[in-house]
Structure 1
Amino acid sequence: MKRAAALLSLVLLAGCGTGAQAEPDAQNPDTVRIGAQAKGIAKPTELKVGRQQSIADEVPDAIKADGKLTIGLGALPTGFPPLALVGDDDKTLTGAEPDLGRLVAAVLGLKPEFNNDTWDNLFVGIDSGRNEVGFSNITDTEQRKEKYDFASYRQDNLGFAVKASNPWTFGKDYTKLAGLKVAVGAGTNQEKILVAWQDKLKAEGKALDIKYFADTPSTFKALVSGQIDAYFGPNPGIAFQITQTQGTADAVRNAGVYSGAGESLQGLIAATTKKDNGLIKAVADAINYLIQNGQYQQWLAAYNLDTEAVPTSLVNPPGLPKSNA
């Protein structure tokens, strides 16, 4: 989705490291450790995955010549948990996005090396070839397809957070929002969707009270105190909050998800390469290998992102239309 401000402001963490970060030489090439140094937001899990020669052979010679896969992240300055953040050791880049990059690199038989930068400079790095692939919550859009190729790996979903004790569910039915107080981030894609539903309800003689707060922590404080009924925001951020509050008086749950692309199209998050550099099929095939052999499902589960699973990785699937971008 469009770099949603609500997700970025979840927690102010130590700034993610700049520049290239190579994986330790001592790492078992057939083992990828998921959730390492992840500040408790994921259960550390060792997954067995090694080079799949038929897929590795698809990588262009110019890319695999140095034995590395350079992976771009746009996580500066604060990180965006649970997708990308600096770890407990203040140097390891961890989270769902770099971990998937590690898994894909293992299938390709390449050593992952991360270039962490700002969101804009992530794409500058792809354009220049400094980043051979980006794993950074990048939405597949028709406008971006003019410059980039995509291999999908997660649904681009929004979610409704409610108190864990609240039985309300969304069910993809906007009429269930009638009479509720719902918070949303100003200027976000989800605000646009929520305001459209508010207009529909108003035309039907029903009300939806939209609320705004300064930041995400303030929003969740309002939610658990009963000031609002629900928060409509990026699904990964809600998954993170569920993990952080589970078993406490402030526990929340996800009452339903909705495509960030709207009613008619399922939005997709995708690995991103420079257009026609020849790498994207190998990346998609590596992701599909992980799907078929179970590591993909274990990766999602580690970060409480099961609701964003895709059945297969597609190369350049239909993206968010230019009119919605």
Structure 2
Amino acid sequence: MKWLKSLLVAAALQTIAVAPVHAQSNLDQIKTAGVFKIGTEGTYAPFTFHDASGALVGFDVEIGREIAKRMGVKAEFLEGKWDGLIAGLDAKRYDAVINQVGITEARKQKYDFSEPYIASKAALIVRADNEAIKGFGDLKGKRAAQSLTSNFGKLAESNGAQLVATDGFDQSIQLVLNGRADATVNDNLSFLDFKKHKPDARVKVAATQDKADYSGVIIRKGEPQLLAAINEALAAMKADGTYQAISEKYFGQDVSK
């Protein structure tokens, strides 16, 4: 019988040795590292940009820092151009992208989004002396300065515009101002912020879409614990007034609706 006991013990040890080790969830890894890595542009005022001192600031930046804080970790921002930001999730360069990423059905097929944290409308921006473009339908055959993969770029293209590739809002506005583009379709909130800082800039809003678009924090699929933690942080921020304070700081109003 001694040999049988030995055989059973050996079998049990072998089972333990080959038993799969459950991998830590991404949320566990974030908490262990103490860092929530966030992809962002850093060139898209007032959402994510650098102030006069060179510090990374903006509405999305403050939202990201608050989410990290409520998860018990620090936010670390990794900057990149818009067209490669979401691809950085696939490469696992960061844990999330917080950069006014529009929630679309196409993106939801491959990624998960938090609950919406901001609502915006598309604004058709032209030079102040442009009387030919009065609505989105007037973009047909015109040059629109756009980030090529953004929702705004797709909207301009769907209205017949020829896209002129740019790195973001500021470059798009400059191309409109210097006549290298006829228009840009961009965020109405970005335009209001731009005019607040440069009231004499000779650009105007020719039209604004009625329907609001919503943006969320975007993460890889299959990370339900992280998604829940992000949503909990956003809900807590809205409940205790932190979201309202950040929103009013940049826009003078609640931009969640």
With normalisation by structure 2, the TM-score equals 0.64
Taking the TM superposition and a 5 Å limit, the aligned residue runs for 1:18-97 are 60-75=27-42, 79-90=43-54, 92-97=55-60
User: Contact (CA 8 Å) 2:238, 2:244: kept in 1 or not?
Assistant: yes
Taking the TM superposition and a 5 Å limit, the aligned residue runs for 1:160-309 are 185-186=144-145, 188-192=153-157, 215-217=172-174, 219=176, 233-246=186-199, 257-258=208-209, 263=211, 266-278=212-224, 279-304=226-251, 306=253, 309=255
Q: Which residue matches 2:7?
A: none
Number of positions where the alignment pairs a residue of Structure 1 with one of Structure 2: 207
Percent identity (aligned)? 23
Deviations 1:24-52 (A, max 9, x none): xxxxxxxxxxxxxxxxxxxxxxxxxxxxx
User: Contact (CA 8 Å) 1:245, 1:251: kept in 2 or not?
Assistant: no
SS at match of 1:70: strand
**Deviation at 1:130?**
2.9
Show structure 2 runs of 5+ residues with no match: 1-24, 129-133, 147-152, 162-170
What letter matches 2:223 in structure 1? N
More helix by share: 2
**Deviation at 1:132?**
1.0
Aligned-pair RMSD on alpha carbons? Answer: 3.8
**Deviation at 1:149?**
0.7
2:79 pairs with 1:116: yes
With normalisation by structure 1, the TM-score equals 0.52
SS at match of 2:78: strand
2:119 pairs with 1:155: yes
**Deviation at 1:112?**
0.9
Deviations 1:142-173 (A, max 9, x none): 22222211012111421356999xxxxxxxxx
* Aligned counterparts of 1:124 and 1:251: Cα–Cα separation in 2: 35
Show structure 1 runs of 5+ residues with no match: 1-57, 165-175, 197-213, 223-227, 312-325
Taking the TM superposition and a 5 Å limit, the aligned residue runs for 1:90-109 are 90=54, 92-109=55-72
CA gap 1:215/1:115 in 2 versus in 1, 3 angstroms: closer
* Aligned counterparts of 1:306 and 1:124: Cα–Cα separation in 2: 32
CA gap 1:177/1:69 in 2 versus in 1, 3 angstroms: closer
* Aligned counterparts of 1:96 and 1:268: Cα–Cα separation in 2: 15
**Deviation at 1:286?**
0.8
What letter matches 2:60 in structure 1? E
* Aligned counterparts of 2:218 and 2:50: Cα–Cα separation in 1: 22
* Aligned counterparts of 1:150 and 1:64: Cα–Cα separation in 2: 20
User: Contact (CA 8 Å) 2:123, 2:208: kept in 1 or not?
Assistant: yes
* Aligned counterparts of 1:254 and 1:142: Cα–Cα separation in 2: 28
* Aligned counterparts of 2:248 and 2:112: Cα–Cα separation in 1: 27
**Deviation at 1:284?**
1.4
SS at match of 2:64: helix
- The structure that has the greater radius of gyration is 2
User: Contact (CA 8 Å) 1:59, 1:282: kept in 2 or not?
Assistant: no
* Aligned counterparts of 1:108 and 1:271: Cα–Cα separation in 2: 14
Deviations 1:263-305 (A, max 9, x none): 5xx4211101111123112111211111122211221222227
